[in-house]
Chain A
Amino acid sequence: MTMPSWLVRTLSLLGLICLWALIAMWVDSTRLPPPQLVLASAWQHSISGELPYHLSITLGRVLISFLVAMALGTAIGIAMGRYRRLDIALDGALILGLNIPALVTIILCYIWFGLTDVAAITAVAINKIPTVVVTVREGARAVDTKLLAVAHAYRLSPMTTLLKVYLPQLYPYLMAAARGGLALIWKIVLVVELLGRSNGIGFQLHSYYQFFDITSILAYTLAFAGVILLIESLLMRPMERRLTRWRE
């Protein structure tokens, strides 16, 4: 009998938590609190309303910067994949964008636009857009012009051509960009919050770091990890399955 994949995933996660518990027991120090303490702390922070508040603020920032980065990155990526001249013209900027440290864009955005949410989201989007562009450009280069000729011969409207003929060819690339994108954005949003916002998980982590409150830090991390796993299993995986079911 083979195990269903959800069971394998759950067991592997439980294994990780057990490993953590074992190490915590062995170290026996306040620097590594065991899972049950962290869980209790997460519960405390949750019922006080503090954790949900900061988590929702962070989620909002992640969502907006994700959407902005995906939309702009996809548009630029398609254009660069399609038009050779534009590709050459923007390639230098792209390489620069890929390699500028996140910290630099964050600091500059805060200095130029003030310590605001707009600056924070701009900084995150700027960090993410180049990687979306690179992935989507690859997809746009691989688009099958023979299928586009079918759309042209049958006089499909530009909208139908885009939605039914063009974009489906990009879906695997868009999914890859979205997955990688979410992972990167989570990380950068926390840094942005730590450096210049007065709420959100990044800000909270910073505060607990000042107090050396490791249990709370881990509690926030745990809540955050839970949300990521939920998004992955309830949104990303089902969406990917739906978009690629014709390959079976």
Chain B
Amino acid sequence: MKQLDVDIHAKRFGDHTVLRELRFSAAPGEFIALVGPSGAGKSTLLHLIAGLDNQFTGSIHWNGQPLYQGNQGVERLGMMFQEPRLMPWLSCLDNIRLVQPNRDTDKAVTLLRDVGLGDFLNAWPNQLSGGMQRRLALARAFVVAPQLLLMDEPFVSLDMPTGDRLRDSLQSLWQRHKPLVLFVTHDLREALSLADRILFLSASPGHIILDFKVSLARPRRREDPAVTALQEQLDKRYPSLLSGRLQHE
């Protein structure tokens, strides 16, 4: 069963075409990573799916319904951005409760404990370290019990142990709640350690050049030998993959 059907004919910013003929479908509970060179329109794609931008030709369907055409689209959507994007004037707890339609404090507290922020319920976001701010943003994304979770390089520019802990938290939360995840990254190892499926994007205008299944056992870590082996295998077979090309030209 398909839950998300993306069929983008073109997305332009002025004269510049960012996405062209980009198509894919996703099933409920899938963890999909989107990998591509910078400027390939990965963030733009997430913005289109989130409904933050609806200036494009083509269609996006959610459970068979066209998205954002006079409807609310995905009912429960979680989103993590490159920056934590917390409200600095709200306490940690209130940042979480902000996005809950029913303001369920118990659930918010439980999730904050899950990500290790149980002792910081009443702290202000700017009192937290960068890693803790990301954890808060992660808790915020899961507190709405998302059906669809959009993540735009959420763990970029973190040191390795901090990034690993966040990826562990993400995997365990995902396994418990099973939302469909679209995870944008330019880090192949991160994609291999998290996703069931990796969509490789071309350079601009972006479209999908390779739909790759990852069937390594979970839980995985970025530094696992199996991840390294798979990465080497991919590198050998498609040396220009991360520049957005399947073959050398």
A residues whose Cβ falls under 8 Å from a Cβ of B: 146-147, 149-150, 152-156, 160, 164-165, 168, 171, 243, 246-248
Q: Is the CB of A155 within 8 A of B72?
A: yes
B198 in the interface, Cβ–Cβ < 8 Å? no
**Per-residue contact bits, chain B 61-80, to A (CB 8 Å; 1 contact, 0 not):** 00000000000100001110
Which of B83, B89, B144 is in CB contact (< 8 Å) with A246? B89
Q: Which residue of B lies closest to A161 (CB)?
A: B98
Give every chain B residue within 8 A of A147 (Cβ-Cβ): 85, 87
A150–B144 touching, CB < 8 Å: no
CB pair B85–A246 under 8 Å, yes or no, is: no
List of A residues within 8 angstroms of B126 by Cβ: 246-247
Q: Which residues of A contact B83 (CB under 8 A)?
A: 146
> For A150, what are the chain B residues with a Cβ–Cβ distance below 8 Å?
79, 81, 85, 87
Q: How far is the CB of A173 from chain B (nearest CB, A)?
A: 14
Q: How far is the CA of A243 from the CA of B88 in the complex (A)?
A: 11
Interface residues of B in 119-174 (CB under 8 A from A): 124-126, 140, 144, 150
Residues A152 and B81 in contact, CB atoms below 8 Å apart:
no
Asked if B50 is at the interface (CB within 8 A of a chain A CB), the reply is: yes
A155, A160, A246: the one contacting B77 at CB < 8 Å is A155
Are B52 and A149 closer than 8 Å at their CB atoms?
yes
Please indicate the chain A residues that have their CB under 8 angstroms from the CB of B51 in the complex.
Answer: 152-153
State whether A156 touches B87 (Cβ < 8 A). no
Q: Which 5 A-B pairs have the closest CB atoms?
A: A154-B99, A153-B79, A168-B89, A246-B124, A246-B89
- Give Cα distance in the complex from A155 to B78, angstroms: 10
CB closest residue in chain B, given A154: B99
